[in-house]
Amino acid sequence: MFWDHAIETLDRASLRQLQLKRLQATVRRVARKVSFYREQFSQARLRPSHIGALADVRRLPFTTSADLRANYPTGLLAVGLEDTLRLHTSSGTTGKPKALFFSRQDVANAAELCARCLVMTGVTRRDVFQNMMTYGLFTGALVTHYGAEKVGCLVIPAGPGNSERQLLLMQDFRTTVFHITPSYALYFADFLEKRGINARRELALRKAFVGAEPHTEETRGKIEQALGIEVYNSYGLSEMNGPGVAFECEHKQGMHVWEDNFLVEIIDPQTGEPLPDGEMGELVMTTLRREAMPLLRYRTRDITSVNPEPCACGRTHRRLNRITGRSDDMLIVRGVNIYPQQIERVLMGTPGIGRNYVIQLEGLDEMIIKVELAEAGFDGQVEHLVRLQTKIAERLRAEILVKPQVELVPPATLPVSEGKAKRVIDNRKL
Ligand code: DLL
């Protein structure tokens, strides 16, 4: 099913032509309207007329999250404040938030892209969409909310948390699809299990859209298994509208990124040099249609690769492979580079393990992994626990080359956050 068949299946040559036209228009606009870019262009002796082909995007400067913070709150606006309609912010780990403005056209366009995403997974106006993302300054809930309304779903603006109420809404309004972070989805599956609810039999759930934080194929499998639903990976970032940037189709083999709206590059995060399709690197995106706040070559810090193969669904927009982490969330433990996703893959693929974990770094490079046992995982025999603990430590050593201390804790005892999960606690005194 397609929301906009013509644009979603546009042949590659025409799509690239459209990208070039929009890139040139964007560069011309920021050169006129945004002093930050004007100065960057003049330092690089670059004129908009130098962008004659898509490959010339490499001549443009990168934009980083530090640039967004430095120009907070309105420094990167390309329209007058009277032409903005909505503000979202995104807080990183430190300092000032990033302010993201939307014009009327940007708001409509973001909803349009979300509508494409939802319809791509088979959502129709008959669906009941329970939005379990946080409403507010975070883009996660509002942007998809309007996308789902555009499709014609009944939208329930539930927000996250209060699982009892979520369940009640699902029961009373026969929710069919929901939008949720992977960490809350795992927690919610646990909650249903504890309440003795069999989601397959008692609820009408069919699909979930899971995003806003990195998660593994194993986590997807666990959520699908527990709830008897299809789970689709949903990717986005506030700087590029929020959700709806890239989304899986029914084949669930990578996320189509809407290339009529975003120009995608993969670069080597160390050198900044572009990498060919298929190679893992940092995702860099240029907005092609944003009116209020266009961004050139924005360094997302997300690590992924592009799959250029044609997709069985017929869409011509290339796919991003699952995000494996962020270039800035790499941990260095005893000199070894480790991504938290590697640890998650091992934990979620081990039977007997529950759905929540934290990675704690202590003292002089000690790594402690606290992980919940599955609800039905402990039969009272201590030697079984010890065996499980040893198995996890061995599997982790094989994956990350460092042997952590593994602590098994009872189900539902680790902290849960309503927004993005905090998986790493670094208390090292190095
Ligand atoms: O998280 C937008 C969003 C909301 C996307 C809801 C999907 C669903 P930010 O708060 O700006 O925006 O965070 C963006 O979250 O750069 C990634 O590091 C991470 N992220 C988002 N979706 C995924 C995903 C929203 N599906 C940052 N897989 C991004 C992995 C994701 N990481």
Is residue 289 a contact partner of residue 112, using CB atoms and an 8 Å limit?
A: no
Does position 370 have pLDDT exceeding 90, yes or no? yes
- Which of 59, 51, 56, 106 lies closest to 78, judged by CA? 106
pLDDT average, residue stretch 323-327: 89
Does position 137 have pLDDT exceeding 70, yes or no? yes
CA of 238 to the centre of ligand 1 (A): 8
Return the residue whose CA atom lies nearest to atom 21 of ligand 1.
212
CA of 210 to the centre of ligand 1 (A): 10
Q: Give the tens place of pLDDT for each residue, 258-283.
A: 999 999 999 999 999 999 999 999 99
Q: Which 3 state secondary structure label does DSSP give 33?
A: helix
Q: Which 3 state secondary structure label does DSSP give 9?
A: coil
Specify burial of residue 52 (Cβ count, 10 A radius: 0-12, 13-18, 19+): exposed
* 238 close to ligand 1 (CB < 6 Angstrom): yes
pLDDT class for 364, splitting at 50, 70, 90?
Answer: confident
CA of 399 to the centre of ligand 1 (A): 25
- The DSSP annotation for 217-281 comes to HHHHHHHHHHHTSEEEEEEEEGGGTEEEEEEE-TT-SSEEE-TTTEEEEEE-TTT--B--TT--E
Helix intervals (H) in 154-198: 163-173, 182-194
Cα 87 from Cα 144, distance rounded (Å): 15
Q: How far, CA to CA in Å, does 90 sit from each of 100, 119, 146, 204?
A: 8, 27, 19, 34
CA of 249 to the centre of ligand 1 (A): 18
Does position 91 have pLDDT exceeding 90, yes or no? no
Q: How far, CA to CA in Å, does 344 sit from each of 130, 340, 353, 356?
A: 27, 6, 11, 10
* 139 close to ligand 1 (CB < 6 Angstrom): yes
pLDDT on residue 379: 81
* 236 close to ligand 1 (CB < 6 Angstrom): yes
DSSP for residue 153? P
pLDDT on residue 92: 62
Does position 216 have pLDDT exceeding 70, yes or no? yes
* 40 close to ligand 1 (CB < 6 Angstrom): no
CA of 381 to the centre of ligand 1 (A): 41
* 325 close to ligand 1 (CB < 6 Angstrom): no
Q: What is the pTM of this model?
A: 0.92
**In which element (H, E) is residue 146 found?**
helix 139-151
